[in-house]
Amino acid sequence: MLFGRKKRRIVRILVVEDEPLVAFDTEHFLTDNGFEIVATTDLVSEGLALVNGDAAIDLVLVDVNLADGSGIDVARAAKERGMPVLFVTGTCPDGGREVASGCLGKPYPQRDLVAAIEAIETVLEGKTPRKLPASFNLFATVG
């Protein structure tokens, strides 16, 4: 197909979010947009188990403030395994640049989530994204 969509580099996504409605909406929106949700969890402990397990994960979406701890711990573990991380949170954490590819501030329009993922994907391909959503901070290093 000549004008088909380009093959995505990021397909399989782990969602670590403790707000049930946000998690539900994110999961369904991303699935409707062609992404595969590896798992959705609301706990740091489960996020760590998934990141350190055998599941193929292309990107970890993680909230910072979770019921059983900090999403930064999940981000750190994901980075150690070579997985890019996108924080989706009210306030980007201090030290976030060291463990994540970017930060999308809540609340955000759903289209900004896909645009943020595509920006990270573009950087992973060695290119510079053209336009970034207003509520998204892309960090200099990805992965």
CATH number at residue 33: 3.40.50.2300
- Structural domain includes residue 31: yes
Report the distance separating Cα 55 and Cα 49, nearest Å. Answer: 10
- Alpha carbon distances (Å) from 17 to 30, 35, 46, 66: 14, 17, 11, 7
- Structural domain includes residue 1: no
- Structural domain includes residue 21: yes
The reply to whether the predicted model has a pTM over 0.75 is: yes
Using an 8 Å Cβ cutoff, are 37 and 15 in contact?
yes
- Structural domain includes residue 4: no
What is the number of structural domains in the chain? 1
- Structural domain includes residue 6: no
- Structural domain includes residue 68: yes
Q: How many CB atoms lie within 10 A of CB 44?
A: 21
- Structural domain includes residue 7: no
Written as tens digits, the pLDDT of the chain (143 aa) is 455 556 788 999 999 999 999 999 999 999 999 999 999 999 999 999 999 999 999 999 999 999 999 999 999 999 999 999 999 998 888 888 899 999 999 999 999 999 999 999 999 999 999 889 999 999 865 55
| pLDDT score, position 5 | 59
Structural domain including 76 reads 12-138
Report the distance separating Cα 136 and Cα 52, nearest Å. Answer: 27
- Structural domain includes residue 53: yes
